């Protein structure tokens, strides 16, 4: 019999007990359960402010859990099939960084796809680990980067037998999955740890019809964004560990960068959401998959748009596909994804997750309704009728293979100078340039600036992509390593 009752929510229960005690607070936070900031209380509600509390004996401590947080983490581990789960309140960014820093020390190699989220490359800057990049597959028709092929990972391992770990991005923002089980087995045969950025895969754990989870595949660690598809508050996440990875050591690594003032709003949202998914997740995500499939079918009936799905699976760089992701290719109606994104928001009051050069992504999850999806479909139909134009001159390239010259940490801390974009070709970049979302760098520290990359940046700016990462907020200049 399972010793864990998934109907329990230890942190929620502890907070309710604490509220009933009517304790007089002479601790932080200074708003004193909302009484000291009436405007904030009116905006967020007294229910919220009364549980925005500090760590204390009845409520445990996120940095060193021994009671209710410890129990809640054990319940989460059980629900996700892990040996241990850590509650993370600095976002999945912090979870990804903690994974990398737990297995790689300064100068040690880690094999990873180049289309990782910036958090993974930030971890290299913080730790001094050295990336061995595996270029992801490319879908030329859609202009998107895919997963890593097993053959490419095998070659990287063969050429770098001293690497400590392999990091897999699974699924990608678009829903593309690599052959996670085969990559994990391969890495383990070479005594390498397997880390999975599973930010967009929370729902995989609660459905037999969705792609394999990191824990099922036997991975050692996984970063899971509960707030993305699991229903918890923004910035709350889980870090899962497996295969005897040291809980105590990973906790020490987490505590290097995570706040000592963990928000009980975030912590309790993880506890409540875990319980909801453990009890009702299968029904929830069956419904989510059906809604996404309905929307995909209706969008493809419009013509011009292409809402892609499992028909793209090729057994390698698209080993599987997350059908809950409503990814739509837009170039055939003569509009960049970012242009459709802007039109949906500005003209139709619909906020989708992102638009890039060739695609849009509508994130469908536990809070969506068929009525809202019908509105999205009809708006896309109207956008095509009102704004479609000839697709001549549209840029489709979404991933440009980088020329890596230096390790990210070396480049980031090197002496640098600011140059106008047009004068930077051939120089080594010392900062990031990326479209956000999704936050995958176009350029990362240590990579050579090329004419192709500059063309892409200018095109992305012209089309209205939100470019970030540079010291120059206008992204007209770029930091490059000083020569000589």
Interval 105-133: pLDDT, tens: 999 999 999 888 889 999 999 999 999 99
Bridging pattern class, strands 416-420 and 433-435: unpaired
Indicate the CATH number for domain 60-278: 3.40.640.10
pLDDT at 101 over 70: yes
CB 12 within 8 A of CB 69: no
E-only strand ranges, 55-203? 84-88, 109-113, 130-134, 138-139, 144-145, 165-169, 176-177, 193-197
E-only strand ranges, 116-226? 130-134, 138-139, 144-145, 165-169, 176-177, 193-197, 221-224
Residue 2's pLDDT band (boundaries 50, 70, 90)? low
Which of 439 and 134 is assigned the larger pLDDT?
A: 134
Spatial distance between the Cα atoms of 122 and 93, rounded to a whole number of angstroms: 9
Residue 1's pLDDT band (boundaries 50, 70, 90)? very low
Spatial distance between the Cα atoms of 307 and 154, rounded to a whole number of angstroms: 32
Indicate the CATH number for domain 408-481: 3.90.100.10
Q: Which residue in the block uniquely carries the two structure tokens 């206008």?
A: 474
Return the domain boundaries, the chain. 60-278, 281-387, 408-481
Residue 138 to residues 254, 327, 358, Cα–Cα distance (Å)? 34, 16, 13
Position 143 scores a pLDDT of 85
Spatial distance between the Cα atoms of 327 and 4, rounded to a whole number of angstroms: 37
Q: Which CATH number fits domain 281-387: 1.10.240.10, 3.90.1150.10, 3.30.43.10, 3.30.420.590?
A: 3.90.1150.10
DSSP assignment, residue 213? P
CB 330 within 8 A of CB 340: yes
CB 397 within 8 A of CB 143: yes
| Out of 57-71, 289-303, 424-438, least confident range | 424-438
pLDDT tens sequence across 218-267: 999 999 999 999 999 999 999 999 999 999 999 999 999 999 999 999 99
CB 80 within 8 A of CB 224: yes
Instruction: Give the dihedral sign, CA 318/324/327/328.
Output: positive
Starting from the edge strand earliest in sequence, which strands make up the sheet with 440-443, in order?
Answer: 440-443, 433-435, 467-468
pLDDT tens sequence across 182-219: 999 999 999 999 999 999 999 999 999 999 999 999 99
Position 484 scores a pLDDT of 72
Spatial distance between the Cα atoms of 177 and 412, rounded to a whole number of angstroms: 31
Spatial distance between the Cα atoms of 269 and 457, rounded to a whole number of angstroms: 38
pLDDT at 401 over 90: no
Torsion of CA 383, 384, 386, 389, to 10 degrees: 130
Position 206 scores a pLDDT of 97
Position 326 scores a pLDDT of 97
At 102 the three-state DSSP class reads helix
Spatial distance between the Cα atoms of 13 and 264, rounded to a whole number of angstroms: 12
At 188 the three-state DSSP class reads helix
CB 60 within 8 A of CB 14: yes
Spatial distance between the Cα atoms of 23 and 92, rounded to a whole number of angstroms: 33
Position 3 scores a pLDDT of 63
Spatial distance between the Cα atoms of 18 and 51, rounded to a whole number of angstroms: 9
Calculate mean pLDDT across residues 354-375: 94
Average pLDDT, the chain: 95
CB 449 within 8 A of CB 424: yes
Residue 437's pLDDT band (boundaries 50, 70, 90)? confident
Q: Which residue in the block uniquely carries the two structure tokens 């809202």?
A: 372
């Amino acid at each position: 019999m399972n010793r864990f009752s998934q109907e329990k929510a230890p942190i929620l229960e502890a907070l309710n007990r604490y509220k009933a005690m009517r304790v007089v607070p002479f601790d932080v936070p200074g708003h004193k359960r909302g009484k000291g900031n009436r405007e904030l209380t009116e905006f967020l509600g007294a229910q919220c402010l009364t549980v925005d509390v500090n760590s204390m004996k009845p409520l445990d401590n996120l940095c060193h859990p021994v009671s209710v947080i410890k129990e809640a983490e054990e319940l989460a581990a059980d629900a996700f099939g892990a040996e241990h789960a850590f509650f993370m309140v600095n976002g999945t960014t912090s979870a990804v960084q903690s994974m990398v820093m737990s297995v790689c020390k300064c100068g040690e190699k880690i094999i990873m796809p180049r289309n990782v989220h910036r958090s993974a490359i930030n971890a290299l800057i913080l730790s001094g680990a050295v990336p061995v990049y595996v270029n992801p597959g490319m879908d030329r028709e859609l202009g998107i980067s895919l997963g890593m092929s097993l053959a490419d990972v095998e070659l990287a391992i063969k050429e770098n037998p001293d690497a400590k770990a392999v990091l897999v991005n699974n699924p990608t923002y678009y829903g593309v999955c690599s052959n996670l089980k085969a990559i994990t087995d391969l890495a383990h045969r070479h005594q390498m740890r397997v880390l999975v950025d599973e930010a967009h895969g929370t729902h995989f754990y609660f459905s037999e019809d969705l792609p394999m989870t990191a824990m099922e595949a036997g991975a050692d660690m996984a970063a899971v964004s509960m707030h993305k598809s699991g229903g918890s508050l923004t910035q709350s996440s889980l870090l899962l560990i497996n295969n005897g990875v040291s809980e105590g050591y990973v906790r020490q690594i987490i505590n290097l960068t995570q706040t000592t003032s963990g928000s009980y709003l975030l912590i309790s949202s993880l506890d409540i959401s875990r319980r909801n998914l453990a009890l009702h997740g299968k029904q929830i995500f069956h419904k989510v998959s059906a809604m996404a499939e309905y929307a995909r079918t209706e969008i493809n009936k419009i013509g011009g748009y292409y809402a892609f799905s499992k028909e793209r699976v090729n057994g390698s760089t698209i080993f599987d596909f997350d059908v809950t992701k409503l990814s739509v290719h837009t170039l055939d109606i003569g509009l960049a994804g970012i242009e459709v994104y802007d039109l949906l928001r500005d003209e139709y009051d619909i906020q989708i997750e992102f638009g890039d050069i060739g695609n849009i992504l509508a994130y469908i999850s536990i809070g969506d309704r068929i009525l809202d999806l019908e509105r999205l479909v009809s708006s896309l139909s109207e956008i095509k009728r009102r704004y479609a134009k000839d697709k001549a001159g549209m840029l489709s390239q979404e991933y440009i293979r980088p020329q890596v010259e230096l390790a990210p940490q070396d480049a980031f801390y090197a002496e640098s100078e600011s140059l106008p974009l047009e004068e930077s070709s051939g120089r080594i970049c010392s900062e990031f340039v990326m479209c956000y979302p999704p936050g995958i760098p176009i350029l990362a520290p240590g990579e050579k600036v090329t004419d192709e990359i500059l063309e892409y940046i200018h095109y992305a700016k012209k089309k209205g992509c939100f470019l970030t990462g540079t010291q120059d907020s206008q992204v007209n200049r770029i930091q490059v390593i000083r020569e000589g």
